[in-house]
Amino acid sequence: MTDGREVQWVEVTEGQVGQRVDNFLITRIKGAPRALIYRIVRKGEVRVNKKRVKADTRLALGDVVRIPPLKLAPREAVREVSDNLRNLLAGSVLLEGRDWMVLNKPSGLAVHGGSGVKIGLIEALRQVREDLDFLELVHRLDRDTSGCLLLAKSRPALLALNESLKRHEMNKQYLALVAGRWPARRDFVSARLDRFDAGNGERRVRVDSGGKVARTRFAVREAFARATLIEAEPITGRTHQIRVHAAHAGHPLLGDDKYGTREAGRIAAQFGLSRLFLHAASLTFPEPTSGKPVKIRAPLGETLDGVLESARNAR
């Protein structure tokens, strides 16, 4: 990893074959934001085999990448990983294979930096796991959602897992606590979703006939006096899909500050809930090398378990 004080020439290894130049540089230049990476590539300061390249150029085995010396201004640098975050991420690994890993993502941690977020999970994990030359997200979770998050540790694994996603060979099941009594017979929601600008640069999603097709399966896991624990399985992968579909069905997720209602807010407060109750509870995917199914579960944790106990005791 470059320290920014001198030019480095780095040879591409087998695990980095096919990686984009910008992603390669992000793993090598500690603390560099994407905007800076794009700038030095555009100016020709980054060379591959002594030739100018674009940010999306794919690397081949044996390519030699020139990395220029960089001195990051404090306002530009990606924040260093704190000891607390380092320990949190280290303790969040649920299972790790040769070329993939699954984390139990903490709620409140964005998967990517940007838009006011100095450091996201992927940037932090690249600092923590300096033994890895390649580390990319296979899919994403909302910032406030916790649970199973899959990452690839090699380019071939990323391609194989992305293909599994496209073929619907990857199954993701979520647990959510919603306001009111979810009807036992309401097991499927199909409503088109459209992204829109809600003001102040915030992007939200709404049900709209002109939006993209979105389908979610729902099942009641446990019914309480004022809320219902449901299992949600997104058939499609739209932004905020589970949250918007649940709200559209008249039962918004508790702790949802974007799509919730005042009544849902009162119920959440009664249960002592201070975060979004949406948790990626299980993930099943074909192992990228052998094709054998891998199934991983992420425990809810003490906080959400405590909320469920409060829900059971509520009247």
Q: pLDDT digit string (tens) for 264-275?
A: 999 999 999 999
- Rounded to 10 degrees, the C-alpha dihedral 222/227/229/233 comes to 130
Angle at the Cα of 129 from the Cα atoms of 283 and 14, rounded to 5 degrees: 85
| Band of residue 3 on the pLDDT scale cut at 50, 70, 90 | very low
Rounded to an integer, the average pLDDT of 146-174 is 94
Distance CA 180, CA 190 (A): 20
pLDDT (0 to 100) of residue 183: 93
pLDDT (0 to 100) of residue 5: 60
Query: With 0-12 CB in 10 A as exposed, 13-18 as middle and 19+ as buried, what is 298?
Result: buried
Cα distances (Å, whole numbers) of residue 87 to 83, 107, 118, 129, 301: 6, 15, 18, 12, 17
Rounded to an integer, the average pLDDT of 157-162 is 93
| Band of residue 1 on the pLDDT scale cut at 50, 70, 90 | very low
pLDDT (0 to 100) of residue 31: 66
Helices (H) and strands (E) in the chain, counts: 8, 16
pLDDT (0 to 100) of residue 282: 97
pTM recorded for the entire structure: 0.79
pLDDT (0 to 100) of residue 79: 58
Q: Considering the chain, what is the average pLDDT of its residues?
A: 89
pLDDT higher than 60, residue 75: no
Residue with the bigger pLDDT between 200 and 78: it is: 200
**Catalytic positions, please?**
142
pLDDT (0 to 100) of residue 2: 45
pLDDT (0 to 100) of residue 15: 74
Strands (DSSP E) contained in the chain are 8-11, 47-48, 51-52, 64-67, 93-96, 100-105, 136-137, 146-152, 171-179, 188-190, 193-197, 203-207, 215-223, 227-234, 278-286, 293-297
Taking only the tens place, the pLDDT of each residue in 236-245 is: 989 999 999 9
Distance CA 77, CA 70 (A): 11
Taking only the tens place, the pLDDT of each residue in 86-114 is: 889 989 999 999 999 999 999 999 998 65
Taking only the tens place, the pLDDT of each residue in 21-58 is: 988 888 777 667 778 889 999 999 999 999 999 999 99
| Band of residue 115 on the pLDDT scale cut at 50, 70, 90 | low
Q: How many CB atoms lie within 10 A of CB 151?
A: 26
Picking from 24-38, 164-178, 236-250, 297-311, which range would have the lowest pLDDT averaged per residue? 24-38
CA 168 to chain centre: 18
Distance CA 113, CA 78 (A): 8
| Band of residue 123 on the pLDDT scale cut at 50, 70, 90 | confident
Distance CA 97, CA 280 (A): 20
